[in-house]
Structure 1
Amino acid sequence: MSTSIAIAPVAHSKRRWRRIRLALSAGLLLAGVFAAWVVSLGPLPLASARQVSTAIVDRNGKLLRAYAMADGRWRLPVDARTGVDPGYLKLLLAYEDRRFRSHAGVDPFALGRAALQLMTRGHIVSGGSTITMQLARLMEPRRERSVYAKLRQVVRALEIERQLNKDQILDLYLALAPFGGNLEGVRAASIAYFGKEPKRLSLAEAALLVALPQSPESRRVDRYPDVARAARDRVLDRMVEDGRVPHEDAAQAKATPVPRLRKPLPILAPHSADQAVATVKDAPVIALTLDSSLQKVLEALARDRAAALGPNISVAILAVDNESGDVLAHIGSPDYFDDRRAGQVDMTRAVRSPGSTLKPFIYGLAFEDGLVHPESLIDDRPIRFGSYAPENFDMTFQGTVPVRKALQLSLNVPAIALLDCVGASRLSSRLKQAGASLVLPKDEVPGLAMGLGGVGVTLQDLVQLYSGLARLGNTRPLREIVNAKDDPRDSLRLMDQVAAWQVGSVLMGTPPPENAPHNRIAFKTGTSYGYRDAWSVGFDGRITIGVWVGRPDGAPVPGLVGRTAAAPILFDAFARTGKLPAALPKPPKGALVASNAKLPLPLRRFRPIGELVRTGGEQAPHIQFPLNGSRIDVTGSAGAQFSAMPVKVAGGVLPMTMLVNGVSVGEFDGRRQRMVDPPGPGFARLTVIDATGAADTVVIRIQ
Structure 2
Amino acid sequence: MSIGSFMGFLLANSIYPLNTKRFNDVSTIIYAQNTPIHIFHSQDEKLRIHTTVEEVDPLYLKILLEREDKYFFSHPGINPFALLRAVYQRIQYGHVISGGSTISMQTARLLEPRPRKLISKFIECFRALQLEWHFSKKEILNIYMTLAPFGGNIEGVHAATMTYFQKSAKQLSPSEIALLVALVQSPTRLHPIHYPERAYLARNTLLAFMAKKHLIDEENFNIHTLADLPSSKNKFPREIPHLAWRLKKQYPNDIKIHTTIDLNLQKKIEFLLSRYQRSFPPQSNTAIFIVEHRKNKPVVYIASRDFYNENDHGFVDYICAFRSPGSTLKPFIFGLGFDLGVVKPESYLLDERRRFGAYYPRNFDKNIHGVVKAEEALALSLNIPVVDLLNRIGVMRFLSLLKEAGITPQLPRSFDSPSLAIALGGLGLSLEQLVSLYSALARDGKVMPISYLDTQISSTEHALFSEHAAQQVTTILKVDLENNRRFSLKTGTSYGYRDTWVIGYDQQYVIGIWTGIPDGSPMSPLLARDLVVPLFQKVVAVLPEKEMPSLQKFSSPTMVLKKSSQHISDQKNVHKTVPTLIFPVDDTIVELERQASQYKAIPLSVTGGKRPYTWLIDGKPLYIGTWKQKEFWMPEKNGYYTITLIDANGQTAKANIELSSNQQIADAS
| Alignment partners' CA distance in 1, 2:489 and 2:213 | 65
The corresponding residue for 1:451 is: 423
Deviations 1:537-571 (A, max 9, x none): 23333443322111111112235623444344445
- Does residue 73 (structure 1) correspond to residue 43 (structure 2)? The answer is no
Letter in 2 for 1:182: N
- Does residue 176 (structure 1) correspond to residue 147 (structure 2)? The answer is yes
CA apart distance, 1:255: 4.7
Q: What count of residue pairs does the alignment treat as equivalent?
A: 552
Judged with a 3 Å threshold, the aligned counterparts in structure 2 of structure 1 residues 408 and 154 are, in CA distance, closer, same or farther, namely same
- Does residue 503 (structure 1) correspond to residue 473 (structure 2)? The answer is yes
- Does residue 220 (structure 1) correspond to residue 191 (structure 2)? The answer is yes
User: Paired residue for 1:187, among 136, 139, 158?
Assistant: 158
| Alignment partners' CA distance in 2, 1:187 and 1:348 | 33
CA apart distance, 1:461: 1.2
**Contact 2:483–2:541 at 8 Å: present in 1 too?**
no
The corresponding residue for 1:232 is: 203
Letter in 1 for 2:498: R
| Alignment partners' CA distance in 2, 1:564 and 1:169 | 62
Letter in 2 for 1:52: D
| Alignment partners' CA distance in 2, 1:371 and 1:275 | 41
Letter in 2 for 1:510: V
CA apart distance, 1:575: 5.5
Judged with a 3 Å threshold, the aligned counterparts in structure 2 of structure 1 residues 530 and 204 are, in CA distance, closer, same or farther, namely farther
Kindly report which structure 2 residues correspond to 1:512-551, keeping only aligned pairs within 5 A, or say none.
512=481, 516-551=482-517
| Alignment partners' CA distance in 2, 1:353 and 1:576 | 28
- Does residue 553 (structure 1) correspond to residue 519 (structure 2)? The answer is yes
Could you list the runs of 5+ residues in structure 1 that have no partner in the other structure? 1-27, 597-615, 617-703
Judged with a 3 Å threshold, the aligned counterparts in structure 2 of structure 1 residues 396 and 280 are, in CA distance, closer, same or farther, namely same
Deviations 1:362-402 (A, max 9, x none): 3323433456665x386796554567363344x67788887
| Alignment partners' CA distance in 2, 1:409 and 1:234 | 78
User: Paired residue for 1:260, among 206, 231, 250?
Assistant: 231
User: Paired residue for 2:314, among 322, 343, 368?
Assistant: 343
Judged with a 3 Å threshold, the aligned counterparts in structure 2 of structure 1 residues 468 and 145 are, in CA distance, closer, same or farther, namely same
Deviations 1:38-86 (A, max 9, x none): 95996353333433135153476654544434433332322332x3344
Kindly report which structure 2 residues correspond to 1:415-454, keeping only aligned pairs within 5 A, or say none.
415=386, 419=390, 422-441=393-412, 442-443=414-415, 446=418, 448-454=420-426
Letter in 2 for 1:494: L
Deviations 1:595-630 (A, max 9, x none): 79xxxxxxxxxxxxxxxxxxx9xxxxxxxxxxxxxx
Could you list the runs of 5+ residues in structure 2 that have no partner in the other structure? 559-595, 597-669
The corresponding residue for 1:89 is: 61
Larger Rg belongs to: 1
CA apart distance, 1:197: 4.2
1:181 match: secondary structure: coil
CA apart distance, 1:479: 4.0
Letter in 2 for 1:472: D
| Alignment partners' CA distance in 1, 2:249 and 2:179 | 37
**Contact 1:536–1:570 at 8 Å: present in 2 too?**
yes
Deviations 1:475-533 (A, max 9, x none): 1233447898x87x5545421111112322343x3243xxx433344332222233211
| Alignment partners' CA distance in 2, 1:443 and 1:92 | 69
The corresponding residue for 1:291 is: 261
CA apart distance, 1:175: 1.3
Decide which moves more: 376-385 or 255-264.
Answer: 376-385
CA apart distance, 1:216: 0.6
Letter in 2 for 1:593: S
| Alignment partners' CA distance in 1, 2:326 and 2:22 | 54
2:489 match: secondary structure: strand
User: Paired residue for 2:439, among 467, 483, 496?
Assistant: 467
| Alignment partners' CA distance in 2, 1:189 and 1:197 | 9
Deviations 1:247-268 (A, max 9, x none): 4444544554333333443333
Kindly report which structure 2 residues correspond to 1:156-167, keeping only aligned pairs within 5 A, or say none.
156-167=127-138
Letter in 2 for 1:171: N
User: Paired residue for 2:555, among 576, 593, 613?
Assistant: 593
Decide which moves more: 84-93 or 312-321.
Answer: 84-93
Letter in 1 for 2:425: G
1:502 match: secondary structure: helix
**Contact 2:326–2:424 at 8 Å: present in 1 too?**
yes
Decide which moves more: 272-281 or 231-240.
Answer: 272-281
- Does residue 271 (structure 1) correspond to residue 242 (structure 2)? The answer is yes
| Alignment partners' CA distance in 1, 2:502 and 2:535 | 8
CA apart distance, 1:165: 0.6
| Alignment partners' CA distance in 1, 2:406 and 2:486 | 27
Kindly report which structure 2 residues correspond to 1:70-149, keeping only aligned pairs within 5 A, or say none.
70-81=43-54, 83-107=55-79, 123-144=95-116
| Alignment partners' CA distance in 1, 2:58 and 2:475 | 53
User: Paired residue for 2:30, among 54, 57, 67?
Assistant: 57
Judged with a 3 Å threshold, the aligned counterparts in structure 2 of structure 1 residues 571 and 88 are, in CA distance, closer, same or farther, namely farther
CA apart distance, 1:313: 1.9
CA apart distance, 1:424: 4.8
| Alignment partners' CA distance in 2, 1:560 and 1:255 | 64
CA apart distance, 1:316: 1.9
| Alignment partners' CA distance in 2, 1:156 and 1:218 | 27
CA apart distance, 1:452: 3.2
| Alignment partners' CA distance in 1, 2:173 and 2:373 | 64
**Contact 1:527–1:533 at 8 Å: present in 2 too?**
yes
Letter in 1 for 2:483: P
1:517 match: secondary structure: helix
Letter in 1 for 2:548: A
Letter in 2 for 1:181: G
CA apart distance, 1:171: 0.8
The corresponding residue for 2:21 is: 48
Decide which moves more: 470-479 or 229-238.
Answer: 229-238
| Alignment partners' CA distance in 1, 2:436 and 2:104 | 52
Letter in 1 for 2:448: R
The corresponding residue for 1:580 is: 545
Decide which moves more: 541-550 or 263-272.
Answer: 263-272
**Contact 1:92–1:210 at 8 Å: present in 2 too?**
yes
1:228 match: secondary structure: helix
| Alignment partners' CA distance in 2, 1:292 and 1:88 | 34
The corresponding residue for 1:333 is: 304
CA apart distance, 1:325: 3.8
| Alignment partners' CA distance in 2, 1:99 and 1:506 | 76
Judged with a 3 Å threshold, the aligned counterparts in structure 2 of structure 1 residues 566 and 125 are, in CA distance, closer, same or farther, namely farther
**Contact 1:404–1:506 at 8 Å: present in 2 too?**
yes
| Alignment partners' CA distance in 1, 2:535 and 2:204 | 50
| Alignment partners' CA distance in 2, 1:298 and 1:95 | 50
Kindly report which structure 2 residues correspond to 1:25-44, keeping only aligned pairs within 5 A, or say none.
43=16
CA apart distance, 1:465: 0.3
TM-score, normalised to structure 1, is 0.67
Judged with a 3 Å threshold, the aligned counterparts in structure 2 of structure 1 residues 249 and 309 are, in CA distance, closer, same or farther, namely farther
| Alignment partners' CA distance in 2, 1:40 and 1:241 | 41
**Contact 2:491–2:501 at 8 Å: present in 1 too?**
yes
| Alignment partners' CA distance in 1, 2:251 and 2:384 | 47
| Alignment partners' CA distance in 2, 1:399 and 1:88 | 80
